[in-house]
Amino acid sequence: MDGLLILAIFLLLLGLLGCVLPALPGLPLAYGGMVAAFFSENIDMSWQTLLVWGVVVAVMTVLDFVIPAWGTKKFGGSKRGVVGCVIGLLVGMFFGFPGIVIGPFVGAFAFELMGGMASDEALKAGFGSFIGFLLGTVLKVICCGVMAWQVGSCWVSAA
């Protein structure tokens, strides 16, 4: 096994971990693993595969900020709640994993309350942001898993 393949495996595993730990950019790390694998002698991967995954990672990185806001809106939140969700997510990033989980909820809830929404409806909007966060996390874990599978299948085909 060459050094690039070892690096690829390390980055893919670190990327998977980064999908649930806020200090690590999970999808970009996993994609870095794919790039390392691409240049390894033991992997037979096309540049088209690398390009497609680059686009997927870019889109998913943006969606990671959009999905909690979508959850807020889906659960009855207003534009104010969506803005609060995004601000809560950005502020929450400074407080680690608990901040990233709780921030969108608190932001959506607080902004809805400030806008005059009843507390039960504001709570529902905040819950929607939390559901959106969970959905985004699950999607990132799935993407990392599929990237790891892709590298593994290219490794097997090159053997």
The C-alpha atoms of residue 112 and residue 76 are separated, in whole angstroms, by 10
What does the pLDDT look like over 22-40, one tens digit per residue? 678 899 999 999 999 999 9
Mean predicted lDDT score pLDDT of the chain = 88
Q: 94 phi and psi, to 5 degrees? A: -80, -10
Most confident of 18-27, 54-63, 86-95: 54-63
The DSSP output letter for 2 is -
Number of domains in the chain: 1
CA angle 104, 145, 44 (to 5 degrees): 140
pLDDT at 1: 66
Task: Using pLDDT thresholds of 50, 70 and 90, give the confidence band for residue 67.
Answer: confident
Percent of the residues in the chain that have a pLDDT greater than 70, as a whole number: 96
Residue with the bigger pLDDT between 48 and 126: it is 48
132: closest CA among 105, 99, 95? Answer: 105
Structural domain that includes position 24: 3-158
Task: Tell me the average pLDDT across 52-58.
Answer: 97
Q: Is 48 exposed, middle or buried (0-12, 13-18, 19+ CB in 10 A)?
A: exposed
DSSP string spanning the chain?
A: --HHHHHHHHHHHHHHHHTT-TTS-HHHHHHHHHHHHHTSTT----HHHHHHHHHHHHHHHHHHHHHHHHHHHHTT--HHHHHHHHHHHHHHGGGHHHHHHHHHHHHHHHHHHHTT--HHHHHHHHHHHHHHHHHHHHHHHHHHHHHHHHHHHHHHHH-
pLDDT at 119: 92
Q: Are 108 and 77 in contact (CB under 8 A)?
A: yes
pLDDT of residue 97: 77
Report which of residues 149 and 69 the model is more confident about.
149
- In this predicted model, what pLDDT tens digit does every residue of 108-130 receive, in sequence order? 899 989 999 999 999 998 888 78
